[in-house]
């Protein structure tokens, strides 16, 4: 079941912490895998921020990750499992945001924020904790407040939410 993750984490026969951004461990996970883990971690944290991680939110994350990284269902599910573990071991989201900042352009980060808004509106409502977290994540991704709100308004329009 975890073949994708075993391959992603293989370092000369050993495994490495995927969220290690200190540079103290050997670089075993390629940059694409780190980006996938960091992205999934942000989606999972957002989905859990209102206290409910619904099956619909999980399916939305799977769809976004499949589309963004061209992965199959099993790979994405394993990636989500790994990202949940990494989130439990992390003390903040900054390590994940740093990985994303190093690899994505501003345009790519705007797409990421739009997808986070789509995830938030899976249940057609905005919780105050979701609102706070997306603004925090947007700031960590070096996006301006206007860019975050523009993405929100675009997604609300796309989804037909007043």
- Is residue 146 within 8 Å of 114, Cβ to Cβ? no
- Is residue 116 within 8 Å of 130, Cβ to Cβ? no
Q: What is the pLDDT of residues 62-85, one digit of tens each?
A: 999 999 999 998 999 999 999 999
Q: Which range has highest mean pLDDT (2-11, 49-58, 77-86, 108-117)?
A: 108-117
Q: What CATH architecture does domain 3-10+30-159 belong to?
A: Orthogonal Bundle (1.10)
Q: What is the dihedral of CA 136, 143, 79, 94, to 10 degrees?
A: -50
- Is residue 124 within 8 Å of 159, Cβ to Cβ? yes
Q: What is the pLDDT of residues 79-121, one digit of tens each?
A: 999 999 999 999 999 999 999 999 999 999 999 999 999 999 9
pLDDT range class, residue 162, cuts 50, 70, 90: confident
């Amino acid at each position: 079941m975890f073949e994708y993750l075993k391959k992603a984490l293989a370092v000369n026969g050993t495994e490495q912490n995927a969220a290690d951004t200190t540079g103290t461990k050997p670089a075993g996970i390629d940059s694409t895998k780190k980006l996938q883990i960091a992205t999934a971690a942000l989606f999972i944290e957002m989905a859990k921020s209102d206290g409910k991680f619904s099956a619909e939110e999980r399916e939305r994350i799977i769809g976004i990750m499949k589309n963004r990284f061209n992965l199959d269902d099993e790979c994405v599910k394993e990636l989500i499992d790994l990202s949940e573990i990494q989130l439990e071991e992390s003390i903040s989201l900054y390590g994940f945001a740093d990985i994303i900042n190093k690899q994505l352009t501003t345009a790519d980060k705007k797409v990421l924020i739009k997808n986070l808004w789509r995830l938030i509106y899976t249940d057609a409502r905005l919780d105050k904790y979701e609102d706070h977290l997306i603004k925090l994540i947007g700031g960590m991704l070096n996006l301006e407040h206007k860019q975050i709100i523009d993405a929100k308004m675009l997604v609300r329009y796309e989804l037909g939410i007043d």
